[in-house]
Amino acid sequence: QVQLQESGPGLVKPSGTLSVTCNVSGVSVSSTYWWSWVRQPPGGGLEWIGEVFHTGTIYSNPSLRTRLTLSIDGSQNQVSLRLASVTAADTAIYYCALDSGLTEWGPGILVTVSS
Amino acid sequence: DVQMTQSPSSLSVSIGDRVTITCQASQDINRDLSWFQQKPGKAPKLLISGTSTLQTGVSSRFSGSGSGTIFTLAINSLQPEDLATYHCQHYYSLPYSFGQGTKLEIK
């Protein structure tokens, strides 16, 4: 059974870099799945962030592309997201999910951007 | 980019009702549409993919239909555990995007 668990700092200062790690169990992150990221501002709708494959191929939302880094660490069986130059508008629950079809989700982590 | 417009944004319902939620795409997306259920404080859960394919374990009270630009999620005989927010998402082309969500509330 695939399980995903997000972790990272819950508070980031404006202009800083937001980092979230997704710990994966039950499947290798180096297998034939894409690893997706979605975010949801408090009380808001869902926004697709992007997806990464173990080969390093990344597809991302153009609205975030210049600030976004997605990566995979096969040795730790983790997937990671980094978002640079954050503002209050980046405050959201960040979810990782299995595959492009978002078939399984982690519980999410709330990251607040505030000084 | 494909934009998804979901309606209504909220719906007052009674237990036992048949509920329908609509999602309209800004262009033809074939049948590349999923529906998600999200309960308060929880992550979304995939209910339906490919417009009408129920995921394993999802109640047959849920059904999806549509093609092209108009899609519908129907819930027959609404049960208390169905009270949630429902989101549609297209995956026809990058970037994928979601509708604004529909929140079901008790009348």
Secondary structure class of A40 (helix, strand, coil): strand
pLDDT mean across residues, chain A: 97
Do A101 and B100 lie within an 8 Å CB cutoff?
no
Note whether B99 contacts A101, CB cutoff 8 Å: no
Query: At B4, which amino acid appears?
Result: M
pLDDT on residue B4? 98
Exposed e or buried b for every residue in A39-66, given b needs 16+ CB within 10 A?
bbeeeebbbbbbbbbbeeebbbbeebee
Ranges of beta strands (E only) in chain B are 4-7, 10-13, 19-25, 33-38, 45-49, 53-54, 62-67, 70-75, 85-90, 97-98, 102-106
Residues B57-94 have pLDDT tens digits of 999 999 999 999 999 999 999 999 999 999 999 999 99
Q: How far apart are CA A105 and CA A37, in angstroms?
A: 9
Closest Cβ opposite residue A105 in set B43, B94, B100 = B43
pLDDT at B9: 97
Tell me how close the Cα of A92 comes to any Cα of chain B, in angstroms: 13
Taking all residues of chain B, what is their mean pLDDT, rounded to a whole number? 97
In 3D space, the residue among B41, B1, B11 whose CA is nearest the CA of residue B107 turns out to be B11
- Which residue of A5, A46, A100 to mutate against B (max B Cβ within 10 Å)? A46
Q: What is the mean pLDDT of residues A29-36?
A: 94
Nearest residue in chain A measured CA to CA from B100: A45
The string of pLDDT tens digits covering residues B8-19 is 999 999 999 999
DSSP state of A105: B
pLDDT per position as a tens digit, B26-55: 999 999 999 999 999 999 999 999 999 999
Q: What is the pLDDT of residue A53?
A: 95
Q: Which residues of A touch B91 (CB under 8 A)?
A: 100-101
Q: What is the pLDDT of residues A55-111, one digit of tens each?
A: 999 999 999 999 999 999 999 999 999 999 999 999 999 999 999 999 999 999 999
The torsion region of residue B99 among left (phi > 0), alpha (psi -120 to 50) and beta comes to: beta
**pLDDT grade, residue A49 (50/70/90)?**
very high
Position of tokens 């999910």? A97
Q: Which pLDDT belongs to residue A63?
A: 96
